[in-house]
Amino acid sequence: MSLQYIIDGYNLVNHPLFAQNHKKRANTQIALLEFIREKRLTGSLKNRVIVVFDGYFEFSGQEDNPYGIRVIFSQEETADEKIKKLVEASDQPRSIAVVSNDKDIRFSVRAFGAKTIGIEEFIEAKKDKTQEKKQDMLKPELNYTQIAKINQELKKRWLK
């Protein structure tokens, strides 16, 4: 079963881990969608992603953007209220992970059974996994003593 991520858009856009590199872009919403996909922050491409922003915009609800991410603008209500309603309306809230640092959202969606992920954890988790994979690739599978024994054996065979 795939996960569904619901992301508090402006909460992530205004976070220093994102803002320091992307705040100068003309359209920070598009920069956020690119960032999520390029860094594969939601893991598998099969995981559904919804980014909720406050206010209005012309491509609200458009699911065929090039990033495969559904974008919702909350219009008259706040993004926080919209996120809570999305989780509440879900028939499988346990498969939802809400990404936000807002304590009220985190508390509310947990009451419905959804998981919560803080912004730092969301951004840094992928970085940590990538670094772990690189370190694992660099680790020898043999210890020094085993390598020395193999080298001695090879030396004997080659110098016969």
Please indicate, yes or no, if residue 33 is contained in any of the structural domains: yes
As for how many domains the chain has, the answer is 1
Judge whether residue 19 has pLDDT over 90: no
Taking the whole predicted model, whether its pTM rises above 0.85 is answered as no
Judge whether residue 144 has pLDDT over 90: no
pLDDT tens digits, one per residue of 41-54 = 888 888 999 999 99
Please indicate, yes or no, if residue 83 is contained in any of the structural domains: yes
Please indicate, yes or no, if residue 44 is contained in any of the structural domains: yes
What sign for the dihedral angle of Cα 56, 106, 49, 81?
A: negative
pLDDT score of 23? 66
- What is the domain range of residue 85? 4-130
Contact 32, 60 (CB under 8 A): no
CATH number, domain with residue 35 = 3.40.50
Q: What does the pLDDT average to over 79-85?
A: 95
Please indicate, yes or no, if residue 68 is contained in any of the structural domains: yes
Q: What does the pLDDT average to over 85-113?
A: 95
pLDDT score of 63? 46
